[in-house]
Structure 1
């Protein structure tokens, strides 16, 4: 298929990462609190990219993925931000990166097929979800340069069979349609808990367990306040938002922003949901391997978010980069309960 090759979102983010200013928490009030929403979009392009609809994109009308791609201009490259896919509806998260390694935002949809010459399915709208938090919650371990990742695209796509699947993104920029391609591997199964599964009952470190030395369990600067409770003590008793992320050591360079989002949403929902942040590496040293909590959840990448309802079941899960709207929806799914969460997460 003609169009730019897909690239690593981790490499793109790493090239653009610099430090931001630090902040402090504020009191919130659930979904009605300003803390439950992203900061005002920093550009009209991001604001416009937040609400694409299927009707504004080409309908496949029996065409193959290659035939659709041939009608488009070559566009930005796709940087995938999710990697775990199993048969069924999956969350596909990605960024779009231009030739100058800058992130691109436009109204976007996704098409999929088993191979380029197979009939395409779609369009699946892919809204851009903001990673921009309010100033009070921005950390030094986040990013704030003009070229930073400010929003992440995500689409719910149907990948019904294991194997290799081909992806075509279509983005509307300046009244023209641009295409980019990628491919993903769908595994027959995954050991990672999915929506409706019981969450593993594991201990997570707290301030008390490390003698109040927060540097042992949090690489964020400043540290978050998501270390008050042990997951084992609250699982099955109240909703939980469990974030696996290492802001200072993140390979994907998005752990800082998602930890900032967690801090902001904790200010909005902290009276209803227990927010827990678990670092990724033993002793915060990548050479020592993953912490046992990640192993218990079957994880090999970061960051991950699991929200868990009051019955101890996964209400939503998000891998890789995720913005404040997806994070908020996952938190609210845990409040409602896993049975009401539907297809939240993947």
Structure 2
């Protein structure tokens, strides 16, 4: 990647931004469903250079220019944050390679990392696959996620390295860390708001669910269970972004509802008024301050936010968020 980290960063297209962001110019291949963990799911620190006080550009110079990186995280605040992304080749195909993340305040700044970024599958058992999910011919089937430390607000340069047969390739982008997020923070009380149910829709589930087929997570309203039992509420509009992340994460929710449904309430809430993005956010989405979608919030039995996830998140990340609310 000799020739300038910053130059490469300006050429990237964020194909995996959450549905509130720009439209993707291509339809990345979802790829086959997998049963065995791939090397991308188990990266090791030994495969990547230690920062050792070097600049981010010096780390980048050890790799060849490779895939593009598409971010799936837009809300970042100081502290340790999940940075989700995909790696996309020239044909628009999502890659599966061991990966790690480095960050610095600028390309010439001192690099921090490597932060390992295991890939997390979004594929689910056949009975939970929808026509708007990862098996639909265009949905995202896996996502990288790294826990990255951002010390303070401001703009950061980000370098993603991928390893293949001992060779490193790199892609760069940048993120802005803000002082606070518009959505509820972990530990804060969840908004007490009525969410859509089959009863409130007069029995017409098509009014409140654009998944094909509709899911079964509209039985109760959030305000009826908040503070009484743990809750997982997923804001997702699969009809608005079926080729990307909203459908696949909803399929994951349906699968985990089967596993954890006796211990907590799972709620799917469409975020747009009348199920149309052009109408703007509905009352529940506004109450949670959503800047994008999809968003997942898990809430403990005291009614406080236990975990939150933005954009694309796989089975493992979703499961950890559920378990955080059950502690």
Provide, for residues 183-208 of structure 1, a one-character-per-residue CA deviation record: whole Å limited to 9, x for no partner. 00111112311111111111101011
Deviation, structure 1 residue 163: 1.0
Q: 1:109-258 alignment to 2 at 5 Å?
A: 109-144=100-135, 148-250=139-241, 253-258=244-249
Cα 1:169/1:12, change in 2 over 3 Å = farther
SS of equivalent residue, structure 2 residue 26? helix
Structure 1 segments unaligned to the other structure (5+ residues): 21-38, 337-346
Residue equivalent to 2:265 = 274
In structure 2, do the counterparts of structure 1 residues 288 and 147 end up closer, same or farther at CA, with 3 Å as the change threshold? closer
SS in 1 for 2:132: coil
Q: In the alignment, which residue of structure 2 is the partner of 1:6?
A: 12
Displacement of 1:148: 4.8
Structure 2: how far apart are the matches of 1:60 and 1:188? 26
Check 1:293–1:148 CA distance in 2 against 1; reply closer, same or farther (3 A cut).
closer
Listed as ranges, the gaps of 5+ residues in structure 2 are 17-21
Q: Distance in 1 between matches of 2:214 and 2:25?
A: 22
> 1:166, 1:184 within 8 Å by CA — same for their partners in 2?
yes
The TM-score with structure 2 as length reference comes to: 0.91
Which of 51, 60, 75 is residue 69 of structure 1 equivalent to?
60
Q: Which residue in the other structure is 1:58 paired with?
A: 49
Say whether residues 1:41 and 2:34 are aligned partners: yes
Q: Is the 8 A contact 1:13 1:149 kept in 2?
A: no
1:92 pairs with 83, 102, 127, which one? Answer: 83
Please give the TM-score of this superposition, normalised by the length of structure 1: 0.86
Q: How far apart are residue 251 of structure 1 and its match?
A: 8.0
Distance 1:212 1:134, change over 3 A: same
| 1:114-161 alpha-carbon deviations (Å, 9 max, x no partner) | 000011000000010001111110001114367752210011111111
Do residues 327 (structure 1) and 318 (structure 2) align?
A: yes
Return the alpha-carbon distance in structure 1 between the equivalents of residues 292 and 131 of structure 2: 23
Cα RMSD (Å) of the superposition? 2.2
Give the distance between the partners of 2:28 and 2:202, measured in 1 at CA. Answer: 32
Mapped partners of 2:304, 2:213: distance in 1: 31
Query: How many Å apart are 1:252 and its aligned residue?
Result: 7.5
SS in 1 for 2:140: coil
Decide whether the 8 Å contact of 1:18 with 1:143 is kept in 2: no
What's the secondary structure of 1:226's corresponding residue?
Answer: coil
C-alpha distance in structure 2 between counterparts of 1:19 and 1:222, whole Å:
19
In the TM superposition, residue 87 of structure 1 has moved relative to its aligned partner by: 1.2
Change (3 A) 1:145 1:242: closer
- The C-alpha deviation readout for 1:268-304, integer Å capped at 9, x for no partner, is 1110010000001101122211111111111120000
Instruction: Give the Å deviation of 1:6.
Output: 2.6
Name the SS of the counterpart of 1:249 in structure 2. coil
8 Å contact from structure 1 (residues 19, 141) kept in 2: no
Aligned length: 316
